[in-house]
Amino acid sequence: MNTQHIPVLCDKVIEFLRPKPDSVYIDGTVGLGGHSATILETSAPDGRVIGIDLDFEALAVAEDRLRAFGERYSLINGNFAEMDVLLERHSVHAVDGILLDLGVSSLQLDTPHRGFSFSHTGPLDMRMNPREVLSREPKASLTAMEVVNDSPMNVLVDIFKRYGEERFAKRIADRVVRARQQGPITTTTQFAEIVKQAVPRKASKIHPATRVFQALRVHVNAELENLEVGLDAAVSLLKPAGCLCVIAFHSLEDRIVKHRFQTWARTCICPPKTPVCICEHSPSVEILTKRPVLPDVAEIQQNPRARSAKLRAVCKL
């Protein structure tokens, strides 16, 4: 199991969060603990981090990484979309900062039996938590293999278009349906080859299966639905002057974050043609990033998986 991990945009996250002693921070997608470790180092001697993750394997690695910080951290197996409920159980009602590092971790990509990557042969699984998916969305309990083999063609087309923005969605879905008639599609590389056969050569600079794998993962784990719920839970937990940082890795996630931040920051949310404001809405946050913060060339060279990262941040008013 490869546990090599470089936290993305870590310096910028620290710049916005400004961790300090006697404060509490949530790492809602703690992963392998890289960001959490830096937050704990910066908030010494008594700043605390509460790390949440669906992935038991990632939590075990994070535990090893953070053990040196003693009792200054807590790890919770759960979905960041339910962070308000999870923290209530631990008698935490407000925090000084929150980080959400979305997407799939290096551990998940590099572990073949998890089924996230077409670079390794493994079962088509893609669940963030194979033991028990805690998402509020029932579809999250399905494996990618079940989705690929059991979904009608029109459903596959919708998944590939909606969550992968795949322009050849119909061609790929048609090829998948024909292939599964010959026998079940069970492995990552088998599925990737079917997708590759359906996409015209040189249609894209990236691997033909990239967007479809993203689409299946997002669908299986209800990632966009959980993000919408999780953002609202996060802002409700922040103390005044507390910061929320979100790192997104594809346009669908980033669009949700951008629009939600804009809504929170508006002074008026009346329909555009309303002559006089009647909503009595007041902004709840200040946007700290007019444009998303991107990794620089040096970080991308050190960590190629950072290349698509976009960081946005707000401060609670």
Per-residue pLDDT in tens (0 to 9) along the chain, 317 residues = 444 568 999 999 999 999 999 999 999 999 999 999 999 999 999 999 999 999 999 999 999 999 999 999 999 999 999 999 999 998 999 999 999 999 788 788 888 889 899 988 999 999 988 765 444 444 446 899 999 999 999 999 999 999 999 999 999 999 999 999 999 999 999 999 999 999 998 767 788 999 999 999 999 999 999 999 999 999 999 999 999 999 999 999 999 999 999 999 998 888 888 888 888 778 999 999 999 999 999 999 999 989 999 999 999 99
Classified as helix, coil or strand, 176 is helix
Q: What are phi and psi of 239, to 5 degrees?
A: -75, 160
d(CA 121, CA 116): 10
Query: Under CATH, domain 138-220 is a member of which superfamily?
Result: Putative methyltransferase TM0872, insert domain (1.10.150.170)
Q: Which amino acid is at 92?
A: V
Mark residue 82 as left, alpha or beta (left: phi above 0; alpha: psi -120 to 50; beta: remaining): alpha
Residues carrying CATH 3.40.50.150, the chain: 10-107+223-316
101 and 29 Cβ atoms separated by less than 8 Å? yes
The two tokens of residue 232 are: 């609202």
Could you identify the residue written with the tokens 């590092």?
101
Please list the residue range(s) of the chain that carry CATH number 1.10.150.170. 138-220
Q: Beta 24-27 vs 48-53: how paired, if at all?
A: parallel
Q: What is the CATH number of domain 10-107+223-316?
A: 3.40.50.150
